[in-house]
Amino acid sequence: MATRQIFITMLLLTLVAATTGCNFIYKIDIQQGTMLDQDMVNDLKPGMTKRQVALVLGTPAIASPFHQDRWDYIQTYERRGEQITRKVLSLAFENNRLVKIEGDYMPEESELADSSASE
């Protein structure tokens, strides 16, 4: 009888471990793309060259050979059990000078924000 009781106890423990085992797996948060913050975007000024922008923000995630006057910075973040968040920053250049900012990040108190709003 004691052997049967030990067997049932072990079986129950195995079942409990098997059904709750998924909670023991550690899932890491996943960050991809260029990490931007508001201070970096606030440092952007109209008329900056592509090189100056790259020094502030880093190289863009997407720089198309077909649209050389547009740079796109994309960031995705996936936290355990939550929806993936995605932020995009698009920069437009004319004659190698920054003229427009669009996307989820907007510079605070910038001439670019004023000129984009008036267009």
Each residue's pLDDT expressed in tens, for the chain with a length of 119 residues: 688 888 888 888 787 776 665 555 667 788 888 888 888 999 999 999 999 999 999 988 777 788 889 999 988 888 877 788 898 999 999 999 999 999 887 777 544 444 444 44
If 0-12 CB within 10 Å is exposed, 13-18 middle and 19+ buried, where does residue 26 land?
exposed
Alpha helices in the chain (DSSP H): 2-20, 38-42, 50-57, 111-118
Q: Which amino acid is at 11?
A: L
5 falls within a domain: no
Q: In which residue are the tokens 């968040």 written?
A: 85
17 falls within a domain: no
pLDDT at 113 (0 to 100): 45
Whole domain around residue 53: which residue ranges? 28-118
SS3 (DSSP) at 55:
helix
pLDDT at 114 (0 to 100): 47
- CATH number reported for the structural domain that contains residue 48 in this entry: 3.30.1450
Distance CA 92, CA 45 (A): 12
45 falls within a domain: yes
pTM above 0.85, yes or no: no
